[in-house]
Structure 1
């Protein structure tokens, strides 16, 4: 395969995917609405077709104009969009849908492709835009991929958990980096052993390309850091990258109540462990970036940006009340 169409490719996952494709000598075309700044605007290697991915006519025009070998669908949030894309790009060598680990509908450790059930999706959920139906809609998108494969389309899905790394507009990791960078004492929800699978964004990008090149039609592939760390270990990694020392102060529900804080207000916290098996993807030759390298790049990008994650997580004033209570115990 020599050419790729990236549907959405200017913000986070798509941006890194374009970089990865360019490194592997693909001719790349972006398909976006043009609402976000295009980091490749001055790069002659990247073409741009403007259009709304929810508009089938615009997608059909892009398919005719670009005639790509591989299509990467980074911004399909409703099942109808996946059904349309797999029809429009049916003759391409590969269609890869960015799904999510949130598509899994049962708590298992680890969650495995083809074994752990996916969420069901009602017609009402399929057209909803709320966070509560995100997993349902991604699961139904996966089923659209499976159906397309049965009809002869080389369609596949990639399921990442929480994605982190440079240019992360969600700023979930930025919240923690900012805390470690600015304060000597950092509140850790619970006992610090919370385990929520994460994945470095460059590894998602390479996974998408590798699945397009080597994956099997009708298959889904989990992608995640090959070595998992607890929330506390993640904070320690951040501190090492910042070359600083912090005191980690554990606080359970009773202590957090002093600041009117709930456990799940903390970014990247999840009460029950969320772990994806990545063995299937590894059989295709995919490898993940060492955690120390991934975090070092993420911290460096944070320091160069104006992101502080302040829209996420508890306010520091509330945490100070918690810390004050803990000092008296």
Structure 2
């Protein structure tokens, strides 16, 4: 008889990859969500769907009773109270895994390590706030709820991804750069191209969730990210190789960007100070990441099949051309 997994969420991005990961490892999977998004597993053998609201304790309890899961993967716990309630309801499962975030770290250390790098604080007001500014605070407090649950005997763990990319990424952050490389010979990159914002391939995050559920220690946090972190410029090179094309990366400082009233932060996936997570703790459980060329090839293939272009992050090609004109005169 297959082990049973309940995924809270499960139809969009990380959850979708997690369903595939669990199916590949012989789990019977049940997705629990409100049914607001298309279910790509509607006709898939081995996948059931229970409709409900994760913020409704009655719905969560009903899901537990109907599924009796061995493990629970929580993809949509955005508030500390979500984690507290879920770890209480699923207190007797073999493994409950909460998706936290690298943003839970409160200090700019290189690299950021579990149990060493301080976490963000979280006030009572931040714990219930719904703005992006408190996302990391809320995730950190969710991690503290994991520790508290483990202290009460719950097999609860946390996985902390950095920026996630890959097929089905509805955030479209990577899609902006994919679209640029696919459609333009010259691409403006802020700074010297060496800025580093650690990224994690979505299928590797899914693998981490399964491995931690099976092998993780209660109350522990596990970073996940590409085992080889690359700069923004190196990322564009990976994209160009996957697309079998060439791209000229044009570096632009604040002065040149100012010609179009742009700032380096106007370019998605740019981060002035390096963000790097140590992934050795996760690797010690037997996890390993997908080779970068393979991960990017799959990402490019699905991007080209989709209608995503990352346009919400576009600083404007006309602005980019203005910057290129300035650089060409230097």
SS in 1 for 2:108: coil
Distance 1:188 1:293 in 2: 24
Whole-Å separation in 1 of the counterparts to 2:248 and 2:108: 32
Matched residue, 1:117: 118
Q: Once the two structures are superposed, what CA deviation does each residue of 1:152-210 show, in whole Å capped at 9, x if it has no partner?
A: 00000000000000000011111001001101110011000001100000000000000
Match runs of 1:92-107 below 5 Å: 92-107=93-108
- Structure 1: distance between partners of 2:195 and 2:300: 21
1:144 partnered with 2:170: no
Deviation of 1:109 after TM superposition, in Å, equals 0.3
2:25 aligned partner? 24
State the SS of the aligned residue for 2:193.
Answer: coil
Aligned equivalents of 2:82, 2:247: Cα separation in 1:
46
Distance (whole Å) between structure 1 residues aligned to residue 134 and residue 13 of structure 2:
22
* 2:74 is aligned with 1:73: yes
Cα separation, 1, equivalents of 2:272 and 2:281: 26
Secondary structure of the corresponding residue to residue 312 of structure 2: coil
1:271-316 deviation digits (Å, cap 9, x = unpaired): 0000000000000000100000000110111111111110113111
Deviation at 1:317, TM superposition (A): 1.2
Pairwise CA distance, 1:243 = 1.1
TM-score w.r.t. the length of structure 2 is 0.99
Classify the secondary structure of the residue corresponding to 1:311: helix
Q: TM-score, normalised by structure 1?
A: 0.99
| CA positional deviation for 1:260 | 1.2
Which residue of structure 2 lines up, in the alignment, with residue 156 of structure 1? 157
- C-alpha distance in 2 between matches for 1:48 and 1:261: 46
Mapped to 1, the partners of 2:187 and 2:269 lie a distance apart of 15
Are 2:228 and 1:217 aligned?
no
User: In 1, Cα distance between the equivalents of 2:289 and 2:7?
Assistant: 22
Q: Does 1:227 align with 2:236?
A: no
Give unmatched runs, 5+ long, in structure 2: none
What pairs with 1:257-272 in structure 2 (closer than 5 Å)? Answer: 257-272=258-273
Matched, 1:180 2:181: yes
SS at match of 1:259: coil
Moved over 2 A (4+): none
| 1:44 CA displacement | 2.8
Deviation at 1:17, TM superposition (A): 0.2
Q: What RMSD in Å do the two structures reach over aligned CA positions?
A: 0.7
SS at match of 1:91: coil
CA distance in 1, matches of 2:122, 2:58: 26
Partner of 1:286: 287
Structure 2 distance, partners of 1:144, 1:265, is 35
Deviation of 1:22 after TM superposition, in Å, equals 0.3
